[in-house]
Amino acid sequence: MSFSALPKIGMGTFRLKGNDARDAVKSALSLGYRHIDTAQMYGNEAEVGDGITSSGIPRREIFLTTKIWHDQLHASDLINSLHDSLARLKTDHVDLALIHWPSPGDEVPMKEYLGALRDSQREGLAEHIGISNFTCAQMDEAKAILGDTPIFTNQVEVHPFLANRKVVAHAQKLGITVTGYMPLAVGKVMEDETLQRIAAERNLTPAQVAIAWVASRGVVPIPSSTRPGHQKANLEALEVELSEEEIRAIDELDRNERIANPDFAPSWD
């Protein structure tokens, strides 16, 4: 089956290694997740591939994303690295291949690596292509380069303490779906009083409240968890409809707190 849109929630695998990654993917799929997100840099593509093959869920029913690291952005490197990713993932294609970060200091021209990414799509290595950690200006540039080739998503950090409003709004204006990584702010949402209060009133967890808030903005959350109980609760958060009042209260938590901010990051909006 070919996916015309991103599934509404994904299972993130950042920081999951070895058996933890393998078991978490298998468990997520058994609970009903159909969107699995990994990256070359996570060092777990092989284990993610194992989790998928051992799940018993047909590959065609799973939306699989990987991301190309910034040391593989020269055209020939990019295609070769994607072939390597597919071998580790034990599949002949990914549903979505992303550029993990724009080339630091524009060392590799965007035209070169996005052109190579489009070539990989034409070769059938990736069903869809997209970007990650791109600013508003970089999205505009990417769109100009790719023309009629759709940018399936821009995957950026989104959680109650980093609403990332400008980027989300700009992507949506351009018709690019936003995927929100770290929707639980690496666990910090559990400690927030506002989220705790709303969760207590609604018989939810603070994590479910945070995920519901991300989803209410039309952003696809990709929470990461190794525990089946948490995975199930995160999946069920999609059914939660927050009131306007609750959304407003969560909106006020935005403090531009960025967790993923390496020294090679672009100048953020």
* Residue spans of alpha helices (H) in the chain: 18-31, 45-55, 75-89, 110-122, 136-146, 165-173, 193-202, 206-216, 228-236, 244-251
Are the CB atoms for 89 and 48 separated by under 8 Å? yes
Q: CA nearest 209: which of 260, 172, 177, 246? A: 246
**DSSP assignments along 96-108, one per residue:** EEEESSPPGGGSS
Indicate the Cα dihedral angle 188, 27, 16, 168, nearest 10°.
Answer: -50
75 burial type by CB count under 10 A (0-12 exposed, 13-18 middle, 19+ buried): middle
What tokens does 40 get? 């070359």
**Size of the chain, expressed as the number of residues it contains:** 269
User: Could you give the residue numbers annotated as active site?
Assistant: 42
| Whole-angstrom distance, CA of residue 150 vs CA of residue 152 | 6
Which amino acid type is present at position 228?
Answer: P
Gap between the Cα atoms of 190 and 234, Å rounded: 13
